[in-house]
Amino acid sequence: MCHIHPDGDAIGSLLAFGWLLAALPDPPTVVLACADSVPPALQFLPGADGITAAPPAGPWDAIVALDASDPARLGDIYRAVLDSPASEQPDVLVIDHHITNPGFGALNYVDPAAAATAQLVLRLADALAVPIRDEAALCLMTGLVTDTLAFRTSNVDAAVLAAASRLADHGVSIAAIVQRTLSDQPAAILRLWGLALSELRVEDGVVWSVVTRAMRAAAGVTGEEDGKLVSQLINAAEARAAVLFNEQADGTVEVDLRARPGYDIAQVALSLGGGGHPQAAGCTLPGGWAEARARVLPLVRAAVEVARPR
């Protein structure tokens, strides 16, 4: 299983882990599951059409959670499988790189120094002496590319580039992945950005904006996605941190947080019931977005109060 609202690292790691298990000498029966459907931009990944949002009740020996910082991030399918009478207490194995992960499995392979969960799956394949197939290489590279914004985040080091170099040996095109997963946006999303960017505010180094249901309707966006607008907000030269409030259909507000290197907003997200990384985190809050703003902005402002050298 991977996390709800899946990104390239969630789907890429899930699929690559599936390829890894299939290559074991005595392959187990595997179901790949995600509580939300695979976004169109990730449907090109080999095996994506085999991911289910309704895994059978079991019996299962184990649940493997990939790229999920806590059990709630796995959605309702996690409890459904874990508590199914057909499964006698499956073991939970957690493979993740979020600094806020409490280690909710019986076995936890959690490394916050990794830039993507895909990097950990590649390490596991090496440890198990499983050869990487071309399909797995494409999935793993997609995880690396999306979580590092094409190798531009501050956690990109020699190990990340070495992993990417190995995957590139399989003929994987980084440019094609970047285009499909990071650059391409439906025109309606760009229109939505226009509406949200016109509301942008800068306060004490915190750049923030909101995507409301009304904006989404005006822009012609039907889903709940916003094209990761917060990644644009943090590009404001004035920004130490960026916040995007995104009104969800169920009345909650998804809060996306970003911080420049030297600042840490992971703990802000954790204190609000969410999680993430020092430079990229998020949480989901009940109530309207004005209420969310009143709760979140003071905490973010406090987290970036002391200026760090650029």
Residues that bind Mn ion (CB under 5 A): 7, 9-10, 67, 117, 147
Task: Decide: is 283 part of the binding site for ligand AMP (CB under 6 A).
Answer: yes
Half-sphere exposure of 60 (CA within 13 A, CB side): 23
Whether the bond into 59 is cis, omega within 30 of 0: yes
In three-state secondary structure terms, 227 is coil
Closest residue to ligand AMP in the complex (CB)? 282
Task: Decide: is 276 part of the binding site for ligand AMP (CB under 6 A).
Answer: yes
Question: Cβ(56)–Cβ(25) under 8 Å?
Answer: no
Task: Decide: is 256 part of the binding site for ligand AMP (CB under 6 A).
Answer: yes
Task: Decide: is 277 part of the binding site for ligand AMP (CB under 6 A).
Answer: yes
- Cα separation, 191 vs 185, in Å, equals 10
Least distance from Mn ion to the Cβ atom of residue 41, Å: 14
**Contacting residues for 88 by C-beta, under 8 A, at least 6 apart:** 59
Task: Decide: is 73 part of the binding site for ligand AMP (CB under 6 A).
Answer: yes
Question: Cβ(246)–Cβ(285) under 8 Å?
Answer: no
- Cα separation, 120 vs 95, in Å, equals 7
Least distance from ligand AMP to the Cβ atom of residue 255, Å: 7
The one among 142, 181, 246, 284 contacting ligand AMP by CB under 6 A? 284
Stretch that binds ligand AMP, among 75-83, 109-117, 176-184, 281-289 (CB under 6 A): 281-289
Question: Cβ(131)–Cβ(166) under 8 Å?
Answer: no
283 interface partner picked from ligand AMP, Mn ion, none, CB below 5 to 8 A per type: ligand AMP
Contact mark string toward ligand AMP, 77..116, x via CB under 6 A:
---------------------x------------------
Dihedral pair phi/psi, residue 211, rounded to 5°: -115, 115
Nearer to ligand AMP, 283 or 300 (CB): 283
Count of chain residues binding ligand AMP (CB under 6 A): 16
Question: Cβ(7)–Cβ(146) under 8 Å?
Answer: yes
- Cα separation, 57 vs 153, in Å, equals 39
In three-state secondary structure terms, 255 is strand
10 interface partner picked from ligand AMP, Mn ion, none, CB below 5 to 8 A per type: Mn ion
Task: Decide: is 265 part of the binding site for ligand AMP (CB under 6 A).
Answer: no
Least distance from ligand AMP to the Cβ atom of residue 261, Å: 15
Question: Cβ(197)–Cβ(209) under 8 Å?
Answer: yes
Residues of this chain that interact with ligand AMP (CB under 6 A) are 69, 73, 98, 228, 230, 254, 256, 274-277, 280-284
